[in-house]
Structure 1
Amino acid sequence: MVAGLVIAAPASGTGKTTVATGLMRALSRSRAVAPFKVGPDFIDPGYHGMACGRAGRNLDSVMCGPELIGGLYAHGAKGADIAVVEGVMGLFDGRITPGTGAVAPAAGSTAEIAALLGLPVVLVVDVRGMSQSVGALVRGFATVDSGVAVAGVILNKVGTDRHEAVCRQAVEDQGIPVLGAIPRVDDVEVPSRHLGLITAEEHGHAAESAIDAMAALIRRHVDIDAVVRLAAEPAPSTEWDAAAGVEKRENVVVAMASGRAFNFAYPEHIELLEAAGARVRRFDPLTQDLPECDGLVIPGGFPEEHVEVLAGRGRLRAQVRSHVEAGKPVHAECAGLLWLVETLDAHPMLGVIGTHAAMGRRLTLGYREAVALGDSVLFAAGERLVGHEFHHTALTSGRAPGWDSAWAWRAWSGETVREGFIRGNVHASYLHVHPAAVPGAISRFVGACAQVPQKVM
């Protein structure tokens, strides 16, 4: 197993993404680095992948279950010299099950992932507005749970030399080494958007420049050799195998939308499609036609940022509609759902599903314990899983003529929520699902693609 470490923080907004991404790029100058992100986030792994030159992957114990974390880590770290795992929110922040209260480490938290893997934690602390108090803060995080090893601290947003010296002494008095002290700088942040950061693929050369600036900051102000010495081998685990238990088909081609508008796809999705025998052909709906294919996957992304271009792609609209009308399978998640509706922010989309969508101020966010309400190209009625919603758009109606709901789950309020659309060989939903948690669904989809298309719409 590849040695690794976890970059965590007391809270969001303390600079752990800058530190983690910069460290990944700095280490990649002389080592093969395997990058990971705790939780369901798609954006940070894009920057991690750019920093390391290999796919950024997610470790999500809520969607995948704790039992898969070791295997997914081993799979993602294969062939690397070291692994760097960026945490999510604060170290102990995670999912709270209604009625149970807060539990440390919470499900899906950085602390849980670190404990499951047995990796040391480097805590990034924003020390603006404090000095000696940082010692008490670090002591609390280091002692609240014996299964989580806070092995080092990086001070961030340091002011003067005197400020650094006082903070460093306060932390080291707790018996925890300070690995670096980063001054307050304003030129290494990646521009924000409504869901977080702008994706690495979309930001292009500016993203590369930002990552280089992050790496330069780390090289100047962090003892990288000391950080590497802290890395530890994780708990032994059998590597996750995409082909395990998957029936392999032949002569199946699956098109997957990609590019700037549709780039929220877990690497394991393509690996599972290929393990089931599919040849995956990626295409950019902003510039390319639909490839000849037996099935279509439309992942999440930011179609709302490209509505005018998508609305003007009449030829592609006709191609996708013909694909649907021929009964060929379609798997659409979040942004994929938005592309299938009649309009998005009053711009014409594909017009497959008879409802409309628009951007809003309200963010819909959280894990959902969902049950499939009907048979589809992905799931059998009654199957249960945990998925994740993360979107600022909303549909004018969650129902459409001739379509059944894909999912049901219980909201915090106790009411039953019905979401998504299934009809014929189309499955469309706001819900993101980690494919490693549902390999049978991916195999089922490829199996449907392998069947002789029948006109079902």
Structure 2
Amino acid sequence: MVTPLALPRLVVAAPASGHGKTTVATGLLAALRRHGLTVSPHKVGPDYIDPGYHALAAGRPGRNLDPWLVGPERIAPLLRHGATVPTPADVAVVEGVMGLHDGAVGQRAYASTAHVAALIDAPVLLVLDTTAQGRSAAALVLGMRAFDPETRIGGVILNRVGSPRHETLLRDALAEVDVPVLGAVSRAAEVAAPSRHLGLVPVAERAPESVATVAALADLVAATVDLDAVLDLARTAPPLTAPAWDPAIEVGGPAGTLRPVVAVAGGPAFTFSYAETTELLAAAGAAVVSVDPLRDPALPAGTRAVLLGGGFPELHAEALGGNTALRAELADFDGPVVAECAGLLYLGRALDGVPMCGRLDHTARMTGRLTLGYREAVAVADSPAHRAGDPVRGHEFHRTVTDPGHGDRPAWRWDGAAHGFVTGRVHASYLHTHWAGHPGAARRLVEAASR
């Protein structure tokens, strides 16, 4: 029998992207932590960058809640897991994605912020960009609330307020529709992290500046938001009745008696990862170690398998290419290798003309076109992570292309086309997957490493 968990929680949402969700969510996490609370940070959707800022603000891993990638049945369990590991949290803050009701394309509300709020039974704190808005802001909030009556908007934070008079006008208008205003941030006070072609700059690439940004966001929220009112709203969430997600149960325990070393790429060039990936690998029996392809001259001693996730290798191509010792070792490494996006580019012959590992027979280059979206894929060939025929849901997010786009043995097929490469014991493609939704991948990689 599952004991219900009293976990105050709320979802920070907005009518659309660009209203200031990340500013408010990150600032809330940091301000509540300063307040002496243990805060559990979460992000709706497949985003890797925002959780890095959340982790810095909260002092514990930022975790994603994405029904498309992991299945709706795992959302509440993953929230409970994140809120209890490594220590029980006093409150959970969940940052939404895009607009409140924007879900997977063609799937209505599925995988939207509103969908996740319903799955975890949490109230919504709506962040509203009030630029060039007056009393009509109340109509917008009323429409957001009425569009899906099951989504409980418990309060609003006004962002980019122009003046004290503007704030008064907005507060009076929202009082007409009985929506509490829990904070107001002026345009002059707003703090933002730097961004570029795929969103914010990851924390790992600007560590000192990131610390300063998060501290400034904490100051901003503490000065402009009623933290006690936010906590009161979070406490209206009922106890969680779902069991906590358990990586050991998901993988069925250790894959064998060996503890093979699995090296997972990290550092500034490989910042895209989900916390549950290493937890699943460890539960399957792996000894998980990290490797930074920018700086480490060799794989960790005893490495039996390598996981190369996503990131921004195009911004670090010269340094990656300059680490010739590690490139040569990976070119000859005979253990299983799983590579996603950045890993795919790193394993090729060249990236924007800079030599890479040469393990895969392709070249890659930056383009002006963004490839972005959820994918329903089927594994084409057996590999260290997947069996041929396995259905997998993933996500693409890149501005590069490879030539060719797939090998003689592709990794995946979706939308009637082949994608990626399976060569020997290497599985590489642009597709990002969340292994909490496909825990068999972790067990399969550890089994392959044990052989």
Smaller-chain TM-score bracket: over 0.9
The letter for the 2-side match of 1:28 is: R
| In 1, Cα distance between equivalents of 2:176 and 2:204 | 43
The letter for the 1-side match of 2:282 is: E
Structure 1 residue 234: Cα displacement: 5.2
| In 1, Cα distance between equivalents of 2:238 and 2:279 | 25
What's the counterpart of residue 454 of structure 1? none
Structure 1 residue 186: Cα displacement: 6.4
What's the counterpart of residue 331 of structure 1? 338
Per-residue CA deviation, residues 296-347 of structure 1 (Å, 9 max, x unaligned), is: 0101001111100111111111111221xx3x00010100000000000000
| In 2, Cα distance between equivalents of 1:197 and 1:60 | 20
| In 2, Cα distance between equivalents of 1:251 and 1:65 | 30
* SS, match of residue 316 in structure 2: helix
Unmatched runs of 5 consecutive residues or more in structure 1? 411-415, 452-457
Determine whether 1:202 maps to 2:236: no
TM-score (norm 2): 0.95
* SS, match of residue 31 in structure 2: helix
What's the counterpart of residue 54 of structure 2? 48
What's the counterpart of residue 240 of structure 1? 245
The letter for the 1-side match of 2:355 is: P
| In 2, Cα distance between equivalents of 1:437 and 1:206 | 34
Per-residue CA deviation, residues 358-378 of structure 1 (Å, 9 max, x unaligned), is: 011000000110001111111
Per-residue CA deviation, residues 253-300 of structure 1 (Å, 9 max, x unaligned), is: 101110000111100000000000000110211111211200001010
Determine whether 1:353 maps to 2:360: yes
What's the counterpart of residue 413 of structure 1? none
| In 2, Cα distance between equivalents of 1:127 and 1:182 | 10
Per-residue CA deviation, residues 414-451 of structure 1 (Å, 9 max, x unaligned), is: xx121011122110010000010011111011000000
The letter for the 2-side match of 1:350 is: C
Runs (4+) off by over 6 Å: none
What's the counterpart of residue 284 of structure 1? 292
What's the counterpart of residue 413 of structure 2? 408
| In 2, Cα distance between equivalents of 1:362 and 1:399 | 19
Determine whether 1:67 maps to 2:73: yes
| In 2, Cα distance between equivalents of 1:202 and 1:165 | 40
| In 1, Cα distance between equivalents of 2:353 and 2:277 | 31
| In 2, Cα distance between equivalents of 1:160 and 1:185 | 10
What's the counterpart of residue 82 of structure 2? 76
CA distance 1:234–1:408, change in 2 (3 Å): farther
Determine whether 1:309 maps to 2:319: yes
What's the counterpart of residue 435 of structure 2? 435
Structural mapping, 1:106-121, within 5 Å: 106-121=109-124
The letter for the 2-side match of 1:348 is: P
Per-residue CA deviation, residues 218-252 of structure 1 (Å, 9 max, x unaligned), is: 11111011000000245410111100142413221
The letter for the 2-side match of 1:390 is: F
TM-score (norm 1): 0.94
Indicate if the aligned counterparts of 1:32 and 1:82 stay in contact, CA closer than 8 A.
Answer: yes
Indicate if the aligned counterparts of 1:256 and 1:282 stay in contact, CA closer than 8 A.
Answer: yes
CA RMSD of aligned residues (A): 1.1
Unmatched runs of 5 consecutive residues or more in structure 2? none
Indicate if the aligned counterparts of 2:362 and 2:403 stay in contact, CA closer than 8 A.
Answer: yes
What's the counterpart of residue 12 of structure 2? 7
The letter for the 1-side match of 2:63 is: R
Structure 1 residue 44: Cα displacement: 0.1
Indicate if the aligned counterparts of 1:377 and 1:445 stay in contact, CA closer than 8 A.
Answer: yes
* SS, match of residue 248 in structure 2: coil
Alignment partner of 1:211 out of 208, 211, 214:
214
The letter for the 1-side match of 2:377 is: A
Indicate if the aligned counterparts of 1:158 and 1:182 stay in contact, CA closer than 8 A.
Answer: yes
What's the counterpart of residue 254 of structure 1? 262
What's the counterpart of residue 329 of structure 2? 319
* SS, match of residue 395 in structure 1: strand
Structure 1 residue 348: Cα displacement: 0.3
Determine whether 1:418 maps to 2:418: yes
Structure 1 residue 3: Cα displacement: 1.6
Alignment partner of 1:368 out of 375, 396, 400:
375
Structure 1 residue 160: Cα displacement: 1.2
What's the counterpart of residue 57 of structure 1? 63
* SS, match of residue 386 in structure 2: coil
| In 2, Cα distance between equivalents of 1:151 and 1:417 | 45
| In 2, Cα distance between equivalents of 1:150 and 1:41 | 23
Indicate if the aligned counterparts of 1:117 and 1:234 stay in contact, CA closer than 8 A.
Answer: no
| In 2, Cα distance between equivalents of 1:93 and 1:84 | 19
Structure 1 residue 134: Cα displacement: 0.6
CA distance 1:186–1:334, change in 2 (3 Å): farther
Alignment partner of 1:156 out of 159, 166, 172:
159
Per-residue CA deviation, residues 131-188 of structure 1 (Å, 9 max, x unaligned), is: 1001101111112112110000000000111110010111121111000111003662
Indicate if the aligned counterparts of 2:330 and 2:359 stay in contact, CA closer than 8 A.
Answer: no
Size of the aligned set, in residue pairs, is 435
Alignment partner of 2:98 out of 79, 89, 92:
89
Indicate if the aligned counterparts of 1:119 and 1:234 stay in contact, CA closer than 8 A.
Answer: no
Alignment partner of 2:231 out of 228, 241, 252:
228
| In 2, Cα distance between equivalents of 1:188 and 1:290 | 39
Bigger Cα displacement from structure 2, 419-428 vs 183-192: 183-192
| In 1, Cα distance between equivalents of 2:351 and 2:204 | 22
